Amino acid sequence: MSSFDSMFDYLKLSLIDVQNATNHFADENIVRRDGFGYEYKGQLLLSSGQLIDILARRLDDIYEQGIKEFQTEIMMLASLKHQNVVSIVGFCNEDKEKIIINKYEARGSLDQYLSDPVTLTWTQRLHICLGIARALSYIHYDQGRTFSVIHRDIKSSKIVLDDKWEAKLSGFELSTMQPAARRHGLVLDLPCGTPGYVDLAYAESATVNHKSDVYSLGVVLFEVLTGRKAHSFSDDKSLFAKTAKSHYENGNLDDIIHPDLQKQMDQGSLKNFSDAAYCCLKDQRSQRPNIDQLVFALDQALKLQLAHEASVRPFLSLFSLFVVITYIYL
């Protein structure tokens, strides 16, 4: 048994249990394929007798880099406990199989809902973005913890939603850890992540810090605002961020905001949100907000939106009553 397996022995699950949980990795249980393998939904019977919904991420053995990422994700999820971070159930490292098992989140990933302003309203989107910002604030630095984490692969498909639409950050396989005392410094490392979301300063300098996560979250914020996925915008993966910045700077952001979302928005909420999203995409890392500043800005945007909805609700109720009375007497 390796030292890694010994350290995390309490999380080990047998291959037979995982196979039974996923109906032997049946095609109909596949949720998605990513750069490292397949994700399967299933139901796992715990030793306590409880049956829970799971998501089993099965690494494809053709990816040599998968072993490092496999161990990194387990270490991170075993160490990080937050309401906006996915919960690890266990892992399987048996018969050349490498599988990470997380709690299954019923609504799937954020990217599936970007273009749907009915299922995912502006208020819900604000709440989701705030949740992910809080998750980043936690992993970047939590008082009393000796290490700091940089995620390095923030994107809408890594944000999963539970049955109450609460956001959970997932996908820690590319993350890196540094001592908390040095959390403001740069880490020298080869660029990784997803084109279109990767901090351009990271790609150019091969150095990364927490502001690189802020940049990636800024891309997600504009996805949420426009209702479009960054990678579906153009063959040039960096064009989405450039276009969003250009429209903001030229004062014609309305041209790219999803029109049905725009009808729901309080203008103050929109301004707070778009200002924050734009600042995340600044070329110079020093000009980007830190994650706690971003949490504050998104919290303010949500409060303004909720206040707006509370103010128009009485009017809507009276209007609905008027419609009903009119209908009765027609």
Q: How many domains does the chain have?
A: 2
Is 51 in the same domain as 166?
Answer: no
Range of the domain at 77: 3-103
Q: How sure is the predictor about 62, in pLDDT bands with cuts at 50, 70 and 90?
A: low
320 assigned to some structural domain: no
Q: Are residues 62 and 125 in the same domain?
A: no
Quick one: which of 16, 13, 18 has its CA closest to 39? Answer: 18
The structure's pTM equals: 0.91
Average pLDDT over residues 137-149: 92
Angle at 75 between CA 194 and CA 77, to 5 degrees: 70
Examine the domain organization and report whether 157 and 174 are in the same domain: yes
Q: Is residue 62 located within the same domain as residue 118?
A: no
In this predicted structure, the answer to whether residue 319 has a pLDDT above a threshold of 60 is no
Handedness of CA 207, 209, 214, 216 (dihedral sign): positive
One domain for residues 56 and 99? yes
80 lies in the same domain as 132 = no
**Lowest-confidence region among 1-10, 214-223, 281-290:** 1-10
pLDDT recorded at residue 190: 86
Q: Are residues 296 and 254 in the same domain?
A: yes
Chain-wide mean pLDDT for the chain?
90
Query: Rounded to 5 degrees, what are φ and ψ at 23?
Result: 55, 45
The last residue of one of the domains, among 103, 138, 154, is: 103
pLDDT above 90: percentage of residues in the chain: 76
* Both tokens assigned to 242: 């450039």
User: Of the candidates 283, 276, 290, 139, which has an alpha carbon nearest to the alpha carbon of residue 202?
Assistant: 283
Which of the residues 9, 61, 153, 163 is marked catalytic?
A: 153
Shared-domain flag, residues 75 and 174: no
The pair of structure tokens assigned to 319 is 């209007």
Residue pair 29/23 in contact by the 8 Å Cβ criterion: yes
Instruction: Return the ∠ at Cα 211 (arms to 209 and 213), rounded to 5°.
Output: 90
Higher pLDDT, 113 or 62: 113
CA distance 162 to 70: 24
- The mean pLDDT value for 111-137 works out to 97
Q: Is 322 a member of any domain?
A: no
Say if residue 134 is in the same domain as residue 70.
no
128 found inside a domain: yes
Question: Exposed, middle or buried: residue 315 (CB in 10 Å: 0-12, 13-18, 19+)?
Answer: exposed
Q: What is the mean pLDDT of residues 86-93?
A: 96
Does one domain contain both 155 and 130?
A: yes
Q: Is there a domain that residue 226 lies in? A: yes
User: Last residue of a domain, which of 103, 127, 142?
Assistant: 103
Residue after which a domain boundary falls, among 51, 86, 103: 103
Active site residue 153: yes
Task: Read off the CATH number of the domain in which 279 is found.
Answer: 1.10.510.10
Taking the C-alpha atoms of residue 294 and residue 275, their distance in angstroms, rounded to an integer, is 10
Give exposure, 199-238, as e/b (b: 16+ Cβ within 10 Å): bebbeeeebbbbbbbbbbbbbbbbbbbbbbbbbebeeeeb
pLDDT of 64? 55
Does residue 110 carry a pLDDT above 90?
yes
Which CATH number do you get for residue 9?
3.30.200.20
Q: Tell whether the model's pLDDT for residue 37 goes beyond 90.
A: no
Other beta carbons within 10 Å of 3: 7
